[in-house]
Structure 1
Amino acid sequence: MFDLHRLRLLRELKHRGTLAAVAAALSYAPSSVSQQLSQLEAEVGVPLLEPVGRRVRLTEQAEILVAHTEAVLERLERAEADIAASLTDLTGTLRIAAFQTAALALVPTALGLLRERHPGLRVHLTQREPEKALPGLQARDFDLVLAEEYPGNPNPRPPELEQQDLLDDTLHLALPGPDGTRYPRGALAVLRSLGSRPWVMEPEGTAARRWAVALCRDAGFEPDVRFETTDLLLHLRLVEQGHAAAFLPALVWDGRPPPVALRHLPRGRRTRRIFTVVRRGRSRHPAVLACRDALLRAVALRSPLP
C-alpha cells in the first residue's frame, strides 16, 4: 500500500509547482521533500518526476496517483465533517480568504454573527484576490474562499470545488471629479466620452482588468491606464479627486451614498457575481455551513445596493 503522507507531498507538488514551494508550505527542508518523493517512486516502481530545466514536472503515472489522492483526501474531509457534525459544540479553526470589497463589506458582519452562535469557532481571515485564493483552496491553504465573476468572463469550475451564490453586485462607471452633469447621457455615450481620460484599473491578469478593458474596447477606445492597484478604495479616491475614471462595484461604498458621480453600464455588463467556494469534501462541514449561513445573513442585513 502506498504511503499517504508521500502521496500528499506529490499532490502538493502538483498544486505548488516546485519542491521549494512545497517545502516552504509544509515547513520541511527541500531535501526532505525530495527524499520522500524518491521513496514514493521506489514504492510505485515507475518514475514520477521528470526534469524540465531547473524544475520538475509530474509524469503521466504521477498524475494518476494525484487523482486518486484527491479522492482519498476528499473522503477524509467528509469523515472529518461527519465527526464535527456529531459534536454538540462547534470548535476548531476555519480559514477564509476574501477579496478586498467582500472582506470590508460582508466579512465583519458575518464574523459577528458567527461569534454569537459559535463562540468556540476560531476564524482566520486572509485578504487575497480570487486568482490566488482559489489555487490556495485547492492546495488546502483555505477552507472557504469568497470569489467574484465578471460579466462575460466565466471562471473555470474544477470538479473538486463547489460554488454557492452570495449576491449580484452592481458595477458602475465612476466619473472623475465631483460634477457629473457635464457628461452626455446614455451608457455608451458617456463611456466613449472618457476615451481620452486617464483610468485606474486592477492589474493585468485579473478578471476585473480583462472585463474592464473589453468593455472599453467594445465602446471603441483603448483605455489609458495610468494607475494599477487591487485596492478599490484607492480607485475611489483617485476618481473623487478627478485623477481618473474607473469601474466601481457597489460594495465599495457599502450601502452608503456614493461620494462620486456614477452612470449605469450597458445592459448585460453591469453586475458581477459574488459567491463562496469550498472543496467538495468539506462542503458539509458544520463550520463551513455556519460560515456560509452567516455570510448570507450578512448580505440580507445590508442596506439595498444602488
Structure 2
Amino acid sequence: MLELRRLRLLRELSIRGTIAEVADSLRYSPSSVSQQLSQLEAEAGVPLLRRTGRTLKLTAQAQLLVAHTETLLEAMEQAEADLAGTMSTVAGTVRLAVFQTAMLALMPPVLRELREKYPELRVEMSQQEPADALQETSSRSFDLVVAEQYSGHSAPHYASLDRRMLTHDPIRLALPARGAAGNEDFDRVTLLEHAATLPWVVEPDGAASRHWALQACRLAGFEPDLRYETADLQAHVELVQTGNAVAMLPDLVLRSNHSALRTVDLPGTPARTIFTAMRHSSTKSPGIQAVRNMLHAQPGMSDADDSVILATPKDFDTVD
C-alpha cells in the first residue's frame, strides 16, 4: 500500500528539484526526506529516482505516481471543503501570501473585518514575491495569494489555480512636493521626459516593475539614471519625498504611505493588475472563500469588472 505522505514528498521533489528544497519547504531534515523516498520506492517495487550527475531525476513511473498524487490531494481538499461547508461557523486556518503593497494597503482593514465577522477563523499571512507565492499556492504551501502583474509581464499561470482580477492600480511618476527638494529641476517636471536628467530609484534587476519602468523611459526617449536600487517600496517613497530621486509608483504604494508627493500622469495611463488566486480544489472552502470575498468587497476593488480603476488619492498633487 502506497502512503500518501510519502507520495507528497515525491510530488514536492518533482516541483522543487532537490531533496534539500523539499526538506526546507516541509520542515523535514534532508535525511528524513531521503529515507521516506527510499521507503516509497520499496513500496512501489520499481525505481522512482535516478541520479544524473549531482541531481535526481524522476523516472517515468515516478511521474505517473506524481500525477495520481495530484488527483488524490485535490480529492482530499475537496472533501475537507465539503465537510467544512456543513459546519455552522466559518473556522480553521487560512494561509495567505501577499506582496508588500497589498500587506500595507489592503490587508489591515480586511483582517479587522474578518476578525469581527469570523472570530473563529485564523488567518496566517506571509509577505512573498508574486511569482514565488503563486508557485507555493499551487504546491499547497499557501491557500490564497494576492499577486500583481505589469503590462507585458504576466505573472506565471498554473492550471491548478483559479485567478480573479481584484483591481487595476494606476502607475504614475512620483516626485517630491514642489519646493521640497531644494532643486528646481524636480519642480519643472510636468512630463515623463522632463525627468531624463534626474536620479531614479528602482527595484532590483529582474523585477517586472523595473523592466517596465525602463521601457517606459526609453519609449520617452531617454535612459534613466538608475542611482538607487531597493525592493522596499517604502524606501522608494522616502527617497522621492526627501528629494533624492524620482520613481514610478502605483497608487496603492502612495496611499499606504500617506505621502504628500506630487505625481505626473504617464502616457497611456498605465496600471498594474492586482488579482487573487486559489486552487480550484479549494473553491468550496468556507474559510478561504471568506478571506477572498472580503478582499473583493473592499472599496475600489472589483469582483469581475476589469474596468474598475482605483481612484487617485485626494492628497496627491496630480499634474495632468
* TM-score computed with the length of structure 2 as normaliser: 0.86
Distance 1:243-1:117 versus aligned 2 partners, 3 A rule: same
Q: Any conservation in 1 of the 2:163–2:276 contact (CA below 8 Å)?
A: yes
Aligned amino acid, residue 85 of structure 1:
G
Aligned partners of 1:25, 1:181: CA distance in 2, in Å? 49
Deviations 1:96-129 (A, max 9, x none): 1111111111111111111121100011111222
Q: Which residue of 2 aligns with 1:9?
A: 9
User: 1:258 Cα shift?
Assistant: 4.6
User: 1:276 Cα shift?
Assistant: 0.7
Q: Which residue of 1 aligns with 2:261?
A: 260
Aligned amino acid, residue 178 of structure 2:
P
Distance 1:25-1:156 versus aligned 2 partners, 3 A rule: closer
Q: Which residue of 2 aligns with 1:230?
A: 231
Distance 1:216-1:46 versus aligned 2 partners, 3 A rule: farther
3-state SS of paired residue (1:293): helix
Q: Which residue of 2 aligns with 1:187?
A: none
Distance 1:294-1:220 versus aligned 2 partners, 3 A rule: same
Number of matched residues? 299
Q: Which residue of 2 aligns with 1:124?
A: 124
Q: Which residue of 2 aligns with 1:183?
A: 189
Aligned amino acid, residue 69 of structure 2:
T
> Which has the larger displacement, 174-183 or 64-73?
174-183
Aligned partners of 1:195, 1:59: CA distance in 2, in Å? 55
Aligned amino acid, residue 240 of structure 1:
Q
User: 1:41 Cα shift?
Assistant: 2.4
> Which has the larger displacement, 121-130 or 249-258?
249-258
Q: Which residue of 2 aligns with 1:42?
A: 42
What is the aligned counterpart of 1:305 among 302, 312, 315? 312
Deviations 1:205-264 (A, max 9, x none): 222222222222322333332222221111011111121111111112328875222111
Aligned amino acid, residue 228 of structure 1:
E
Distance 1:197-1:53 versus aligned 2 partners, 3 A rule: farther
Q: Which residue of 1 aligns with 2:59?
A: 59
Aligned partners of 1:143, 1:5: CA distance in 2, in Å? 19
Q: Which residue of 2 aligns with 1:241?
A: 242
Q: CA RMSD in A?
A: 2.2
- The 5 Å alignment of 1:163-174 reads 163-174=163-174
Aligned partners of 1:221, 1:160: CA distance in 2, in Å? 42
Identity %: 49
3-state SS of paired residue (1:156): coil
Q: Which residue of 2 aligns with 1:277?
A: 277
Q: Any conservation in 2 of the 1:178–1:242 contact (CA below 8 Å)?
A: no
- The 5 Å alignment of 1:37-186 reads 37-176=37-176, 178-179=178-179, 181-184=187-190
User: Any gaps of 5 or more consecutive residues in structure 2?
Assistant: 180-185, 302-309, 314-320
**2:205 aligned with 1:204, yes or no?**
yes
Aligned partners of 2:25, 2:288: CA distance in 1, in Å? 23
Deviations 1:130-157 (A, max 9, x none): 1221222123221111000111212221
Aligned partners of 1:216, 1:50: CA distance in 2, in Å? 49
Deviations 1:16-60 (A, max 9, x none): 332122223333221221122122223334432233443323334
Q: Any conservation in 1 of the 2:178–2:187 contact (CA below 8 Å)?
A: no
User: 1:280 Cα shift?
Assistant: 1.2
Distance 1:41-1:115 versus aligned 2 partners, 3 A rule: same
Distance 1:65-1:205 versus aligned 2 partners, 3 A rule: farther
3-state SS of paired residue (1:42): helix
Distance 1:195-1:85 versus aligned 2 partners, 3 A rule: same
Aligned partners of 1:115, 1:271: CA distance in 2, in Å? 31
Q: Any conservation in 2 of the 1:106–1:299 contact (CA below 8 Å)?
A: no
User: 1:289 Cα shift?
Assistant: 1.1
User: 1:12 Cα shift?
Assistant: 1.3
Distance 1:36-1:181 versus aligned 2 partners, 3 A rule: same
Aligned amino acid, residue 148 of structure 1:
E
Aligned partners of 1:177, 1:263: CA distance in 2, in Å? 11
Aligned amino acid, residue 227 of structure 2:
R
User: 1:81 Cα shift?
Assistant: 0.6
Distance 1:257-1:20 versus aligned 2 partners, 3 A rule: closer
Aligned amino acid, residue 183 of structure 1:
V
Q: Any conservation in 2 of the 1:177–1:239 contact (CA below 8 Å)?
A: no
Distance 1:47-1:176 versus aligned 2 partners, 3 A rule: farther
> Which has the larger displacement, 292-301 or 100-109?
292-301
Q: Which residue of 2 aligns with 1:32?
A: 32
> Which has the larger displacement, 10-19 or 43-52?
43-52
Aligned partners of 1:198, 1:149: CA distance in 2, in Å? 25
